[in-house]
């Protein structure tokens, strides 16, 4: 009877889709921000295969004890201290005690991270100052400009010996405790 005429379906022009998708990709990369790692740069020693805990006695005169209280106040050996004096205190302590010194940090759980990181930054800055002074004495240049071998030698003379104390409270009815 009646035949319908076959219609041709028009094709889509896809020649510019690659250009558009590339432009969107560039726009996305430009407008978004990439997160930068923040935190402390520390390299932990490798984990030992055998877990052997050796209890050693430490002379109390070789320990510099910092405490951060819940209200973000700083104490040195149970006496109030300003954050601005930490660097000089650590420098003189490490210089006088040598390799056997220990810097102990005890932080209350309610203290802010800003106070903790500020204390850590001051301690690391003190070590950096001491290492720079030692590099100037030995090699006549800053620590960062020394060769790897020279940096290792200075780091062995002035090791970062920082100990952190965590309170462990046992929960009734459970083994161990929580931090």
Q: What is the CB-side half-sphere exposure of residue 79 using CA atoms within 13 A?
A: 4
Q: How many structural domains comprise the chain?
A: 1
Q: What is the largest CA-CA distance in the chain?
A: 111
This prediction has a pTM of 0.67
Q: What DSSP character marks residue 42?
A: -
In-domain check, residue 72: yes
In-domain check, residue 83: yes
pLDDT of residue 177: 46
Give the domain CATH number at 104: 3.30.420.270
pLDDT of residue 12: 73
In-domain check, residue 45: no
pLDDT of residue 168: 60
In-domain check, residue 22: no
In-domain check, residue 67: yes
pLDDT of residue 9: 75
pLDDT of residue 179: 44
pLDDT 10s per residue in the chain (179 long)?
677 777 777 777 777 888 889 999 999 888 887 777 666 676 666 777 776 777 777 788 889 999 999 999 999 998 999 999 999 999 999 999 888 899 999 999 899 989 999 999 999 999 999 999 999 999 999 999 999 999 999 999 999 999 888 776 545 554 544 44
- 117 lies in which domain range? 60-129+160-165
pLDDT of residue 119: 94
d(Cα 139, Cα 148) in Å, to the nearest integer? 13
Q: Which of 58, 56, 106 is nearest to 78 (CA)?
A: 106
pLDDT of residue 106: 93
């Amino acid at each position: 009877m009646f035949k319908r005429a076959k219609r041709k379906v028009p094709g889509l022009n896809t020649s510019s889709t690659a250009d558009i998708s590339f432009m969107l990709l560039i726009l996305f990369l430009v407008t978004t921000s990439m997160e930068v790692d923040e935190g402390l740069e520390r390299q932990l020693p490798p984990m030992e295969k055998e877990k052997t805990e050796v209890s050693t006695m430490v002379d109390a005169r070789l320990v510099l004890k910092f405490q951060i209280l819940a209200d973000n106040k700083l104490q040195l050996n149970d006496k109030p201290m300003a954050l601005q004096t930490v660097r000089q205190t650590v420098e003189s302590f490490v210089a006088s005690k040598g390799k056997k010194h220990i810097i102990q940090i005890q932080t209350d759980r309610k203290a802010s991270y800003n106070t903790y990181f500020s204390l850590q930054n001051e301690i690391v800055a003190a070590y950096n100052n001491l290492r720079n002074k030692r590099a100037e004495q030995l090699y006549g240049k800053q620590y960062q400009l020394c060769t790897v071998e020279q940096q290792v030698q200075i780091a062995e003379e002035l090791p970062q010996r920082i100990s952190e104390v965590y309170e462990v409270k046992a929960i009734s009815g459970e083994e161990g405790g929580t931090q």
